Structure 1
Amino acid sequence: MSAPPHSPHGVADLCAAGTALYEQALRDGRVGAGQADTAAPCLLSLGLLHPVVDDLAQLEPVPPALVLHRLLRASGARIAEERHREERLAALFEPLMRVTGGPAAATEPGSLLILSGTERINGAITEAMAEATSEVLCVQPNSHYSGPRGEAAQPVAMARDQALLDRGCRIRTLYQHTQRHMPLVLARYEQLRGDAEARTLDEVTDRLIAIDGAVAFIPAGEDGRLALEVRHPALLTYFTTTFDRLWRLATPMYPRAVRRPSLDGVTPRQRAIAALLVEGHTDAVIADRLGMNVRTARVHIAKLAATLGSDSRAQLGYLIGKSGILDREQSQGQGSGPAG
């Protein structure tokens, strides 16, 4: 039976097998090279064992004091290099800070900052969330979860979200109704542990992540490669106020899901489509705003037409207005919105 694979690690993370064999070598004075190759090859690569001069089939231990001295010297060199790097950065940016003028420019972080590249954006969000102490507000439209980009972003988001929840913080997220049964979204709430809530709307704004009312991130381009980091107090107040108003109008999805009622055989999704039809939007625009494909939108339009007895697009708009379904939905929403 072959030995289990040996995962690479450093001296600070010495494996149990390596520790046991190194202790044996210190007690006995040496161990067999074959034994080390099988049980703990890390001891050779980390310089804790070396071949005996007159018997290459045997390995003897390097004294722990010598190993510790060597490691501390290397650590000291790294610390010194980091200090030199800090000095070089300070020397580089000090004159530049004087050029940009004024003590405010030198001491206060920018209220608006463009972030370029997925790695830079994720790094900034992760750093801000690591400092969070209260609550994160998120708006996640359907487009963010579509395709490979959404799947690739999920593990990164899950790790930082769970770390935040583990610190006792809260996460509230708004999705579109079309995402209520999306596997990627469902998997997220099956795995997260802590104070996480989710609600849904027919339409949501573009993506938003607002952290503690102190910083927010919004898209600055259509391809997701540019983001705007916002620290301006007035804008942050606007974002959080808008989110809270949408939250009160939204339908709970997690941790307790609420089923949206139908009115006279017209489903909530069909009512949302009806509202956009009355506004004169095309099938493509309706599909985009509600987070579905055009074919699905047309299926819902056909079902709505059949329910209302319409034979044409023009007649459908007239019958929607005559039926009063949009008026009743509005009055129902004003009277029984979920508590915030």
Structure 2
Amino acid sequence: MLTTSAKPTHPHPAVPLCGEGSRLYALALSSGRILRSEAENTPCLMDFALLHPDPDDANWLRPVPPSAALAQRLHPLEREIQERRRVAVELTDIFEPFMAITAREEPTTHAITVLEGDARIHAAIERATAECRSEVLTVQPGGGRSENTLTVALQRGQTILDRGITMRTLYQHTVRHSQGTLAYAAYMAQGNVEIRTLEELTDRLMIFDRNVALIPARADQQVALELRHPGLVEYLAKVFEEQWSRATPLIDDVPYPPSVDGITGVQRSIAKLLIDGHVDEAIARRLGMNVRTCRAHIAKIAAALGSGSRAQLGYLIAQSGILDQDRPK
């Protein structure tokens, strides 16, 4: 009996572009076209509308310019944002009659409110965004954002852009390698928005008009605190300003010190955390990178210093002098 081999399934149904798809798209952009047979096992390239048939030769595929592909992805999001704004207006009209009733009651303001679960946390952020009139300050540690996270950020960001609110955001240096985050930053740059990066950041922080702040209360991000005490909010705003003054604008190059004995500025930061006793997971979290990338840097440090073990590595880092130039003179 004759049998036919099954067509390869898409290796990542939840991800728009796989690693092989990214490689082939880059190849198509640099060379102008690729053979159709090369793209057979990467259906994401066609599904994502990054390639189209060559009108002159059916055996070849030509790339769609990245700017056009990005615009295709953003347009549905913009339409969704408009629809959500329409729903927000309808909800405002529904609840407006009740506002006058509650306004006659004795006003109560809780200095600290505990928010449990994503639904309550997101609702508090949406409420604070709606109340905001002039300024938003945010600290967002970690590396590149997922598509879902960027979609939510874009929806909130559009509201801020439409209302002319000033926004300043601090990311970690590692987002400079995330194309999705860079695309979001470029979109937000059309408004009164500034973005800077630091190597290390404190935990997440959002401040609205210096009247209300939200901070995480648990490592899994499932519990947050909404702060409305003026003293607490002002203290957090000062922490933000101190970090902002040391941060580098996203459009500028990161001012890492020059390499020393083949060890880069990022690797010296990792080396310092290593001799301070931090484990790989803690180092990766503090520097906003994944654990695999962190361990690859550690392996390069060990190779550069000729270390044969983790215990020896700490000793060699301390003896090598590679951290001397990071110390104050």
CA distance in 2, matches of 1:235, 1:322: 43
Q: Equivalent of 1:177, from 170, 173, 176?
A: 173
8 A Cα contact 2:173 2:254, kept in partner: no
Alignment of 1:193-204 (within 5 A): 193-204=190-201
Deviation at residue 215 of structure 1 after TM alignment:
0.7
Q: How many residues are treated as equivalent by the alignment?
A: 235
Q: Is residue 158 from structure 1 mapped to residue 162 from structure 2 by the alignment? A: no
CA distance in 2, matches of 1:256, 1:233: 34
Q: Answer with 197-206 or 212-221: which moved more.
A: 197-206
8 A Cα contact 2:150 2:181, kept in partner: no
TM-score (norm 1): 0.60
CA distance in 1, matches of 2:95, 2:274: 65
TM-score (norm 2): 0.62
Alignment of 1:295-306 (within 5 A): 295-306=292-303
Evaluate the alpha carbon distance shift between residue 162 and residue 261 of structure 1 in structure 2; reply closer, same or farther with a 3 A threshold: farther
8 A Cα contact 1:130 1:164, kept in partner: no
- The structure richer in helix per residue is 1
In structure 1, runs of 5+ residues without a counterpart are: 1-78, 98-105, 333-340
Alignment of 1:271-286 (within 5 A): 271-286=268-283
Which residue does the alignment assign to 1:113?
113
CA distance in 2, matches of 1:270, 1:257: 17
CA distance in 1, matches of 2:303, 2:294: 14
Which residue does the alignment assign to 2:141?
141
Q: Answer with 223-232 or 114-123: which moved more.
A: 114-123
Deviation at residue 259 of structure 1 after TM alignment:
4.9
Q: Equivalent of 1:320, from 307, 317, 321?
A: 317
8 A Cα contact 1:251 1:260, kept in partner: no
Q: Is residue 132 from structure 1 mapped to residue 129 from structure 2 by the alignment? A: no
Evaluate the alpha carbon distance shift between residue 237 and residue 324 of structure 1 in structure 2; reply closer, same or farther with a 3 A threshold: farther
Deviation at residue 270 of structure 1 after TM alignment:
0.4
Evaluate the alpha carbon distance shift between residue 162 and residue 311 of structure 1 in structure 2; reply closer, same or farther with a 3 A threshold: same
Deviant stretches of 4+, over 6 Å? 79-82
Q: Deviations over 1:52-105 (max 9, x none)?
A: xxxxxxxxxxxxxxxxxxxxxxxxxxx99985x679x76xx99xx8xxxxxxxx
Q: Is residue 228 from structure 1 mapped to residue 225 from structure 2 by the alignment? A: yes
In the alignment, residue 131 of structure 1 is paired with which amino acid? Answer: E
Deviation at residue 272 of structure 1 after TM alignment:
1.3
SS at structure 2 position matched to 1:210: strand
Which residue does the alignment assign to 1:238?
235
CA distance in 1, matches of 2:130, 2:199: 32
Deviation at residue 303 of structure 1 after TM alignment:
0.8
SS at structure 2 position matched to 1:239: helix
Which residue does the alignment assign to 2:61?
none
The structure whose Rg is larger is: 1
CA distance in 2, matches of 1:258, 1:279: 24
8 A Cα contact 2:142 2:285, kept in partner: no
8 A Cα contact 1:112 1:231, kept in partner: yes
CA distance in 2, matches of 1:156, 1:293: 22
SS at structure 2 position matched to 1:216: strand
Q: Is residue 168 from structure 1 mapped to residue 164 from structure 2 by the alignment? A: yes
8 A Cα contact 2:129 2:208, kept in partner: yes
Q: Answer with 320-329 or 226-235: which moved more.
A: 320-329
Deviation at residue 257 of structure 1 after TM alignment:
4.0
CA distance in 1, matches of 2:276, 2:265: 17
Which residue does the alignment assign to 1:27?
none
CA distance in 2, matches of 1:245, 1:320: 30
Evaluate the alpha carbon distance shift between residue 151 and residue 228 of structure 1 in structure 2; reply closer, same or farther with a 3 A threshold: farther
Q: Equivalent of 1:191, from 187, 193, 197?
A: 187
Q: Equivalent of 1:294, from 291, 296, 321?
A: 291
Q: In percent, how many aligned pairs have the same letter? A: 49
8 A Cα contact 1:138 1:173, kept in partner: yes
Q: Answer with 274-283 or 198-207: which moved more.
A: 198-207
Deviation at residue 182 of structure 1 after TM alignment:
1.6
Evaluate the alpha carbon distance shift between residue 140 and residue 81 of structure 1 in structure 2; reply closer, same or farther with a 3 A threshold: closer
In structure 2, runs of 5+ residues without a counterpart are: 1-92
Pairwise CA RMSD: 3.0
Q: Is residue 261 from structure 1 mapped to residue 257 from structure 2 by the alignment? A: yes
